[in-house]
Every structure is written in structure tokens, then in C-alpha cells.
Structure 1
């Protein structure tokens, strides 16, 4: 009989874990509440090599996460599920000074020795910028990074869950809870009211991980951060071939297919799990976007996405085996780099379920530093 795997959370981590688990021959059940999921509200830039963060373990995770997309997209294509949710389109970094762009340029060249995926790196000016992004205005110089990519989190997870279904997995909408039996084994109360046991459970609930584990006597160092982005519908379908735009500051600009341009996203630590769109946040974001792309002023708003990211107190992600729970695995704390590192982490959780050696050292992302047992 196939081993039964429960995946709680259908975001980028859970959807990737469910896909590779089902592909490996397990009987997979995915449970997702459909509320507040960060991935469903996200569209992100995959370009982690320019970060100033000095945390080498975090950098290795996001750098290898960016590279993992080649495998992920090739695997999906081989299974007959090609998608344009991900595209390596290049990135334009906008800076207010030559010194800033030169600093980022030099950092990119240094890191390219270990991460050749970075690709071509060059400081562009004037007509060079217009050539690769004609509508861009008020930009005299920018740094081009050829390996930059964009991804639509909602579309990618939908594709991954579709692939899970093709391999026999089942997708269930609704909230679940966990209980620990007298013999120490874990049971899942499913949305249909049944108490079920699985051979392994993967907790990929993001910012809702504390809600799952606290009833079992755990404290979880995870908090929610609100993120909002705006999708504009333009008439310029050619923008999908343009690079993503990364200005200094809060927002990014991501052109997608069918004339859609994404503006965002916000980082609201004080709003946590609030899922209501807030014009006092999104309107200033749009004004910033109009300064660089004036044509967007005529574009209607097609969608406003709101989700909750998961952060730890030291902004570090974690994953591994949950202390004190046999065959229970979890990941959280990915923050705004979730679309970059999430697929790789989902794959690594699958490796743990299959009792294979993790390709990244688990001690660098210690789950027991963030999930503590308070009662037995």
C-alpha cells in the first residue's frame, strides 16, 4: 500500500512538496484553508544575488532556491504541465546615484563566480535602457542583471497542485487541526470532520503554523506580515518581454503576459493578519509606479491581492522535523523571499519524508530554534 502523506498548506512550499511527493509515488492529501495565503497573493522577483544581507546561510538558501527553478520548470514540462508563471526576463535595478549602482554591480560580479545564473551584468544609460524597456521614464541609468526572473505565485501553485492531482493526489479546501494520541502519534482532523492518520505530515501553513502547533503544547516563533500588491491591466502586451524593475525602496514593477503589470508589494508589520485592501497603502505605491511608467495612469486596476507572510524574530527561515512529533515536518519564516526559496524548501521536505540526505545542511536552518515544546 502507498504511504499516505498529508500536506497542510497549499502555498509555494506545500504545493511543491505535494507535487514531488505524489510524483515519487506517495498517496498525497493537500489541505488548504484558502485564507490569507502569501503565495496566492504574491508575484515576485527572483534575483537574490544583490542582497546586502550578511547572513551567509540565508544567502545560500535563496541562491540555490533561484537555481532550483530550472529543475522545477523542467520537471513540470516533462510531466506535460508547461506554464508561463515563471520567466527569466532579466532585471533592471534603479538607483539614485552612480555610486549605489556601482556598488551593486561589483557585488553581482563577485557573486557571479559562485552563481553563474546571474548572467550578464552591466550599467546601462539613456538609449540602452529605452531599448530594453521603451516606456520607462525618468531613468538616466540602471543596472541590468540578465539572470533576474519573475514568477506569479498564484499561477505557479495552481500548476503544482494540478500536477499533484495528475499523480493521484487529492486537494481539499478547509481548515484542519492536529491532535496527539496517547501513543504519541499525530492525527489530523480533516475539514469533513474525520480523524485521520498519515504516515507523514508536512506542515506548510506559513504564518498560521503557530495556530496548528500551539494546541499540542508548542510555542512557535512566527509572526504575520501583511503584503498588498496591485495588478494593472494595460493594453501593451509587449511588456511581458521586458525585464522586471527593482527601484530603491518598497515597490517593484513586474510586467506579465496579456498586458498585466504588477505593482508591489507592501511590507506591513503592524497589520499582521489583516486581509483587507487599504488604499492608503496601495495609492502611494501606484503613484511611485506612475513616476517611472506614466502610461500606467490609464490602466485600470484588475486586482488587489492581499496576503500574510511569515517571519521569525530574527528574519531567518527554518525547516526540518518537528521536535517531539514522529514523521512530522515543517517549514516557515520565509518572509518576502518565499517565492525564491519556497520551491527548494518544499523539495527538501520531500527528501526528509523519503528519508534521504538533505542537500542543504539542516543545522543551518534549525527548526528547534523556533518551535519549542512547552508541554509533553
Structure 2
């Protein structure tokens, strides 16, 4: 199993985690009591978890403390003159700017026609279920992954989060579905049957921005000076989004990013047919 993890990481061009330990079936159940009887498992002490809502609030508060001004409204179009952006039209009013970042999530494609580029970003629905285990001390339980996109994440308040569906082709329909709930619960109970008595506390659903090649779109838009894209992270937005934003914000300020972003340019998709 340990070799499988290393081979998988190597095939993805990533270094394998340094702190990996093989554990027995009994040790795995001791770490995560609801777990099914398994042949064995790999345990990493270097893993971590993050609450997306709290992270978002923290980033927002930190940015406002450094001068961020938030204006909420519906963006109608970009103002482009002489091959360069001059601002955006928000609820009928023009907000002047010589640099604009489009971080429109699953709706980013709406700007493609005006920019003259192809932005193949479409919504992928994801459904996540929060389970409550009354009286269980879940705070020290590790994240559980069964080598695919489903996972179990325990939190200190006797809560285990089971996720998540990846419903490509869902369209703009952010609603809970019977099929999605069945998928998440079936996989959660297959991996950890001890969760069967848990109460369903909450079901969350959202739309991920997924590109046609599953890679994000980052950096300047060719042919329109001052417009930048930060979108298409799919299911990795929570972890990659802040770093991507840092790199592209640097580009907007005229800095060379510490990571080469050329492979993520929107230019890879070509121009739309005319």
C-alpha cells in the first residue's frame, strides 16, 4: 500500500509525503473507530483539515484590514478600449480600473465572448453530508481517503463530514438530489459502517468551476491588456485558490510569479469559432 501511494504521487509529478507509516487493520480502527475491517492502511501525521467557511472569513478580514474595499453587485460587462481594460460595469455604473481579475467560478465563461477567448468552464455539482455522532470524541480522528474522490473528515464537535459527489454535466442546479445523497452515504458506510447510527446534521451543495481539461485557468488574457483569469480549480479550489490568487495578484502588479503559470494560460484553448 505504501508503494502504491508513492507510485501514485510520482505519476502525478508530486513528491510523496515524507511522514508515511503502514498501520495494521486494528491500528486503523483505533485511529478511526467507525472504520470497516480493512487489510491495512497508510497513516500520515502530516495531514490537516480546514474549515472552508472560517478560512474564507479569515482571508476576507485580513484583506479588509489591509485596505480591501468590497462592493457587491452584478457585473454586466467589461469596459475595453484600445485593446485594454478600463473598468467594469456594475449594476449600470462604471467602476474604473486598469487591471481586472475574473474569478467568476462556474460563471466565468460569461466573459469569453467579449474577451474573444475560449473559457471552457462549466459547473460541476458537489454534495457533502455532515453527520453527527453524539458523545463521540472525534477531534483527533484523522481524515480518511479510500484512494478516490470520496473522503471522511472528522471535526471536534462530534461531527464527521462525508463527501463528495462530482457531478459533471449537472448544469447550474445547486440542489440536493436523492442520487447524490445515496452516493455519499453509501460510500461513507462502505468505508466506515460504524457511522450508521449517526444523525444527518446538514447537507451542503455547491457548484465547482471545472474546465474541459480539469486544470485551472490562470494569468493574463491574450489581446486584452489588464484582464486576468483565476478560475477553473474544480474540486481543488479550497486548497489551491488562495495560492493561485497570490500569484495572479502579483502578475497584476507587474511581478513575475514564483511559479511558471504558462501551462495554465487560457491561450491553450484557442479562440472561439467565428
Taking structure 1 as the reference length, the TM-score comes to: 0.65
State the secondary structure of the residue aligned to 2:168: coil
2:7 is aligned to 107
Kindly indicate whether the alpha-carbon contact (under 8 Å) linking 2:34 and 2:195 is maintained by their aligned counterparts in 1. Answer: no
Deviation at 1:320, TM superposition (A): 0.7
Structure 1 residue 371 displacement after superposition: 6.3
* Structure 1 unmatched runs, 5+: 1-100
Q: Distance in 2 between matches of 1:251 and 1:314?
A: 21
The question of 1:321 aligning with 2:220 is answered: yes
1:199 correspondence with 2:98: yes
Task: Output the aligned Cα RMSD.
Answer: 2.7
Question: Structure 1 residue 194: deviation in Å?
Answer: 1.8
Q: 1:225 Cα deviation (Å)?
A: 1.3
2:22 partner SS = strand
Q: Which of 245, 250, 253 is residue 152 of structure 2 equivalent to?
A: 253
The answer (yes or no) to whether the contact 1:119–1:146 under 8 Å persists in 2 is no
Q: Is the 8 A contact 2:125 2:174 kept in 1?
A: yes
Q: Deviations over 1:179-198 (max 9, x none)?
A: 3344443321224x321112
Cα displacement string for residues 210-249 of structure 1 (whole angstroms, at most 9, x for unaligned residues): 1133344443222221111111233246322221110144
Please name the residue that 2:232 is paired with. 333
Q: TM-score normalized by structure 2?
A: 0.87
The residue that corresponds to 1:187 in the other structure is 87
Report the structure, 1 or 2, having the larger helix content: 1
Secondary structure at the aligned position of 2:71 is classed as strand
Match of 1:212 in 2: 111
The equivalences for 1:160-175 within 5 A come to 160-175=59-74
| Pairwise CA distance, 1:268 | 0.9
Contact 1:323-1:372 at 8 Å conserved across structures: no
Residue 211 of structure 2 corresponds to 312
Shift of 1:310: 1.9
Offset of residue 110 of structure 1 = 6.5
* Alpha-carbon distance change, 181 to 109 in structure 1, aligned in 2, over 3 angstroms: closer
* 3-state SS, counterpart of residue 185 of structure 1: strand
Q: What is the aligned counterpart of 1:178 among 54, 77, 86? A: 77
* Residue in structure 2 matched with residue 54 of structure 1 by the alignment: none
- Report the Cα offset of residue 330 of structure 1: 0.8
Tell me if the contact between 1:186 and 1:325 (Cα under 8 Å) persists in the aligned partners.
no
Q: Is the 8 A contact 1:206 1:333 kept in 2?
A: yes
Higher RCO (Cα < 8 Å, 6 or more apart): 1
Deviates more, 1:243-252 or 1:231-240: 231-240
Output the CA distance in 2 between the equivalents of 1:174 and 1:295.
46
Closer, same or farther: CA 169–236 of 1 in aligned 2, 3 Å: farther
- The alpha carbon displacement at 1:143 in A equals 1.4
1:220 is paired with a residue whose SS is coil
Q: Corresponding residue for 1:238?
A: 137
Question: 1:219 aligns to what SS in structure 2?
Answer: coil
Contact 1:311 1:335 in 2 (8 A): yes
Q: CA deviation at 1:161?
A: 1.0
Report Cα offsets for 1:313-348 as digits up to 9, x if no partner: 222222111122222211222222222322211110
Deviation at 1:370, TM superposition (A): 3.2
Cα–Cα, structure 1 residues 249 and 227, in superposed 2: closer, same or farther, change >3 Å? Answer: same
In 1, Cα distance between the equivalents of 2:189 and 2:26?
A: 20
Listed one character per residue, the Cα deviations across residues 6-53 of structure 1 (whole Å, up to 9, x for unaligned) are: xxxxxxxxxxxxxxxxxxxxxxxxxxxxxxxxxxxxxxxxxxxxxxxx
Q: Which residue, out of 176, 179, 183, partners 1:284?
A: 183
